[in-house]
Amino acid sequence: MSEHGTESAGDQVRQPGTAGRLDQGLDQRLDQAQVEGSGGIPERFTNPGLPPHVPRSADLDEKAARRAERQVATLFGISMVATVVFLVAYFAIDQRTYSFIPGIGLASLSNIVLGVSLGVSLLCIGLGAVHWAKTLMPDTEVTEDRHPQRSSDEARRDAVETMAAGGAASQLGRRPLIKYTLGGALGLFAIPLLVQLTGSLGPLPKDGLSTTFWRKGMRLMRDPEMTPIKVSDVTLGSVFHVMPEGIDKSPHVLEEKGKAAVILISLPPEAIKVPKESSWGHDGIVAYSKICTHVGCPVGLYEHRTHHLLCPCHQSTFDVTQDCAVIFGPAHRPLPQLQITVDAEGYLVAAAPFLQPVGPSFWERG
């Protein structure tokens, strides 16, 4: 009437006295399991004790010891010399001096000399001290005994009793009013600290992540020159890095640039496979958000023969002939397209702002 199912063949039942070693705790020494007094072969090998000490040459020979002393002193001496070199070089070498160092090329002389002299001065102290310890300080191994980490039962009992006695003396157990209000006070006091730390964090995103600087009619400007782009300037296979007109006058330039960066690409109109892409562009010239939809790096690597746009951070690849759909890599959403058109003077302008949020995804993006 076993309620636990049958035991499988591999189950071993623990018999008392044999495999119980593992749970015995402190009594079992790990190195000796001899069967005492049986006169037979010991159950395990015994520890042979420390191997015989082999003296070093400096232990036996005073000349060797003196040589070691000289070696240590030389190292310390080199350190002192190096320190002096550092001090002199610090004031003497001009910051702007570049010298040719074999193996490195033209490097800042000040950096090299200060660094090498400081490094040598530190290193030689270390080498000297270690060499001294190895050759002259005693190298006979010393044994220190360990004691179990566990405190004695007496100590434990004493601690518990002190706590208990103190607790009883505080009358906390007898004074429930104190107990509950103490709990309440302690539970609450940390809240003001947290609120102070986090309460002023902000601002709320609102539509910050969903809108960009782009507005209808804004000219496309070259980044970083901030000059407008004429359609006739754009030749087949070219790439322009674009910012909206007026962004450099914005009070939050970098924040706006971080959302408004656009890449303008010119490809053969017949290569574009998606009608919407053609209509939002102008004669094969298309503009897409440059902010990668993965985690936001600028997607700038345009391969003009394959029409692929590559992001250098995590290698998300977008196909410009297919409305920048993702064809490789960890991004999911295609790059949003900026509708462009040409104004009366022949400059490229935005026909509308971005119609979806640019950049990495976020929960309420939709």
Partner 1 sequence: MSPTATPKGAAGLRAKDVKPQEPAKGSKAVAGGLAGWVDDRTSVAKPTSYLLKKVFPDHWSFMLGEIAMFSLIILLVTGTFLTFWFVPSAGRVIYNGSYVPLRGIPMSEAFKSTVDISFDVRGGLIVRQIHHWSALLFTVSITVHMFRVFFTGAFRKPREINWVIGTILSLLAINEGFTGYSLPDDLLSGTGIRAAEGFMQSVPVVGSYLAYFIFGGAFPGEAIIPRLFTVHVLLLPAVIIGLFTAHIVLVAVHKHTQYPGPGKTNDNVVGYPMMPVYMAKAGGFLFIVFGITTLMAALVTINPIWLYGPYDPSPVTAGSQPDWYMGFADGALRLFPGFTEFNIFGFTLSLNVFIPSLIVMPLLYSIAGAYPFIESWVTGDKREHHLLDRPRNAPTRTGLGVMAISFYLILFLAAGNDLIAIKLGLSINDITQSLRVLLIVVPPLSYWVTKRICMSLQRRDHDLVLHGRESGRVVRTAEGRFFEVHEPLPEHERWALVQHETLTPLPLTAKVDASGVQRKRNRGEYLRAKVSSFYFADGVHPVTPADLVAAHHDGSAHEAIETGQDSQDQDSGGQHWVGQLHGGAEERPERDAYASHEDGADRGPGSAP
Partner 2 sequence: MNALGSHRRHPAAILILLLLGLVATGGLYSLLAPRPAQAAVGTADDMSAGKKLFLANCATCHGISGTGGKAGAVPTLLGVGAAAVDFQVGTGRMPLAGTGLPQAPRGNKVMFTQTQIASLAAYVATLGPGPSIPDSQYTNGDGSIARGNELFKVNCAMCHNFAGSGGALTRGKYAPSLRNVTGTHIYEAMATGPQSMPVFNDQNLSPTDKNDIISYLHDLDKNKNPGGLSLGNLGPVSEGMFVWIFGLGLMIGAAVWLGSKAA
- Residues at the contact surface with partner 2, assessed by CB under 8 A: 54, 56-58, 68, 98, 101, 103-108, 111-112, 115, 126, 130-131, 134-135, 139, 222-225, 230, 232-241, 265, 298, 300-306, 308, 310, 312, 315, 317, 328
Among 9, 17, 22, 100, binds partner 1 (CB under 8 A): 22
Residue whose CB is less far from partner 2, 58 or 357: 58
Contact partner at residue 196 from partner 1, partner 2, none, CB < 5 to 8 Å by partner kind: none
Cα three-residue angle 134-136-139, rounded to 5 degrees: 60
Report the sign of the C-alpha dihedral through residues 267, 270, 273, 277, in that order.
positive
Q: Which residues in the 114-143 window bind partner 1 by CB under 8 A? A: 114-116, 118-130, 132-134, 137-139, 141-143
Distances (CA, A) of 59 to 69, 130, 191: 12, 16, 67
- Shortest reach from residue 27's CB to partner 1, in Å: 9
What's the half-sphere exposure (Cβ side, CA atoms, 13 Å) at 98?
4
Q: Where in 55-114 is the site for partner 1 (CB under 8 A)? A: 90, 95-96, 104, 108, 110-112, 114
77, two tokens: 């001496």
The CB-of-232 to partner 1 minimum distance in angstroms stands at: 24
CA angle 309, 310, 313 (to 5 degrees): 150
Angle between helices 109-135 and 62-92 (to 10 degrees): 160
Nearer to partner 1, 2 or 232 (CB): 2
Q: Closer to partner 2 by CB, 146 or 305: give it.
A: 305
Q: What is the CB neighbour count within 10 angstroms for residue 194?
A: 9
Give me the least distance between CB of 161 and partner 1, in Å please.
Answer: 24
Per DSSP, the three-state class of 251 is: coil
